[in-house]
Amino acid sequence: MTYKNKFQGKAEMLGLAAALLSLPAGYCQTARASTPASVPELGSVYQPSEQYRLGMQLLNRQNKSRHDVDQGIRWLQLAAAHRNPDALFQLGMFHENGFDNVEKDVRRAIRFYEQAADLGNREAIYNLTALVLKKNTDYYDPDTALYWLQRGAHRGDANIQFSLAMFYRDQQQNSRKSLQWLFKSAWNGHKSAQYVLGTYFLQGRYLPRDPRKSFQWFEMAAKAGDAMSQYDVALMYETGEGAPANQNMAVYWYEQAAAQGESGALFNLGRKYLLGESVAQDINKGLDLMEQSAQQGNPAAQTMLASHLQIGQYLTRDARKAYQLYLSAAENNYPEAQYQLSLMFAKGDGVPKSDTLSVRWISKAARLNHTKAQYGLGAYLANGVGIEKNLFEAAYWICLAAAQGQKHALDTRDSLLQMLTQKEREDINRRVDSTMTGSDHLGTPGMDRSGAIRKP
């Protein structure tokens, strides 16, 4: 008896779909296996797109049964056997991650993704390239990734064009081709591409520095809803870099970004409400925004909250809690927090007094170009507090701070230099000049999304 005859009566009573769902488990193999003789016959009843829809309908049921899962997978396999790109993609996902009784098999997932990608499925290209670009795997294959990214990009897909731009930048260090595809993606409306171009023009990276063009790209992405670009537009309005200073517009865009949980916007908007800058002062709202930012790990917000806890402003004084917040920010290489930790250990405020730990933290901040820390480290070295006395190193740090206008360093620099030989003074001048011109750790005006000095 053929399957058709066997199920003819049931089809008449329950409908053909219900009958087909009762097929034996071995009836349809995976898309790569040989197709049973009667699959074309079933395909003539249900088109592959309908087979895929039926399968997903079963798999997406709430409180689905074992039978639902088995039959849902069979429908997907049947659709995949008829080259339905969505079914091929779904089976690729099942094999990539493992699903129910579908075994995890990355190489099989790659084959399914390739078939789906060949039929124009964009998600398959994303997943496929992500897999074959995983280093230290036996399926790492950048050539395959490039092939599929190029195919998708030439079809005009902005997302894939952006991925191709990043591939050329990160995998092949080919900035010319990367920029070519980045601009195409950005003009096709890709928010991340627009944001990246904004950062390139702002930093002078890969493109000549041009804050006005940077603002234009950030604004384009911001209007499309990109939270990071909204933050940068707000910051540029606040600082007047790349756009005329406009504090009302800065607040507007900070609010847009903060509504999406952007931590830098939460911090800067919270700071404005705490201080009453361009908005009516609202301490409670400011603290709430600051705490939201701090909970995301924003070191600037953690440091500001810690300072209020330490001195008891707006919040009940709690030196121990302040220490914990400073420590969290300091471990994230935030120099102001490192400097404040140094002061806490120097004074024994909320922590046991320790000159050694004070020197450790102030050294970290000094190397991140915190000028007060540079002066403080110089003072420790000059007096041998918590560290071996070294007038030459002390003079270097104090001269470096003085070169950047630190008041206490300017007041003490000359008297310290008089204790050194002419050669030592010349060596220090050369070293300071080298540090300043190298400026790998020196910032330019502006704030980044953590509230730290924005780096060029």
pLDDT in tens, 122-176: 999 999 999 999 999 999 999 999 999 999 999 999 999 999 999 999 998 999 9
Q: Is the pLDDT of residue 358 over 50?
A: yes
The average pLDDT across 93-101 equals: 93
Q: Which of 313, 307, 343 is CA-nearest to residue 325?
A: 307
Global pTM reads 0.79
For the range 12-20, what are the long-range contacts, defined as Cβ-Cβ under 8 Å and sequence gap of 24 or more? 16/45, 17/46, 17/54, 20/45, 20/46
Mean pLDDT of the chain: 89
The average pLDDT across 269-296 equals: 97
Amino acid at 153: A
Query: Concatenated DSSP letters for 180-214?
Result: HHHHHHHHTT-HHHHHHHHHHHHHTSSS---HHHH
Contact 326, 303 (CB under 8 A): yes
HSE-up of residue 141 (Cα within 13 Å, Cβ side): 13
Distances (CA, A) of 355 to 344, 388, 392: 10, 12, 20
Q: Tell me what pLDDT residue 444 has.
A: 34
Q: Is the pLDDT of residue 23 over 60?
A: no
Confidence tier at 1 by pLDDT (50, 70, 90): very low
Q: Tell me what pLDDT residue 18 has.
A: 39
Confidence tier at 438 by pLDDT (50, 70, 90): confident
Q: Which of 370, 387, 292, 282 is CA-nearest to residue 334?
A: 370
Confidence tier at 71 by pLDDT (50, 70, 90): very high
Contact 337, 313 (CB under 8 A): no
The average pLDDT across 339-363 equals: 97
Cβ neighbour number for residue 53 with a 10 Å cutoff:
17
Confidence tier at 101 by pLDDT (50, 70, 90): confident
CATH class of 297-368: mainly alpha
Q: Tell me what pLDDT residue 25 has.
A: 38
237: Cβ–Cβ under 8 A, 6 or more apart, which residues? 243, 244, 245, 246, 247, 249, 250, 253
Find the largest Cα–Cα distance for the chain.
108
**3-class DSSP state for residue 118?**
helix
The average pLDDT across 297-325 equals: 97
Q: Which of 154, 197, 204 is CA-nearest to residue 179?
A: 197
Q: What percent of the chain has pLDDT over 90?
A: 85
Confidence tier at 3 by pLDDT (50, 70, 90): very low
Confidence tier at 455 by pLDDT (50, 70, 90): very low
The two three-digit tokens of residue 60, written as one number: 């997406």
Enumerate the β-bridge partners of residue 453: 447
The average pLDDT across 314-320 equals: 96
The two three-digit tokens of residue 41, written as one number: 């016959």
**222 membership: H or E segment, kind and range:** helix 211-223
Q: Is the pLDDT of residue 76 over 70?
A: yes
Q: Tell me what pLDDT residue 15 has.
A: 34
**3-class DSSP state for residue 282?**
coil
Whose tokens are 């002066």? That residue is: 375
Q: Tell me what pLDDT residue 226 has.
A: 98
Burial 241-275 (b: 16+ CB within 10 A, else e): bbbeebeebbbebbebbbeeebbbbbbbbbbbbbe
Confidence tier at 46 by pLDDT (50, 70, 90): confident
User: What DSSP character marks residue 453?
Assistant: B
* Chain centre distance of CA 370: 26
Amino acid at 213: K
**3-class DSSP state for residue 137?**
coil
Enumerate the β-bridge partners of residue 447: 453
* Chain centre distance of CA 281: 32
Delimit the domains of the chain by residue range: 1-82, 297-368, 369-440
Amino acid at 201: F
Q: Tell me what pLDDT residue 218 has.
A: 99
Q: Tell me what pLDDT residue 97 has.
A: 95
Q: Tell me what pLDDT residue 450 has.
A: 60
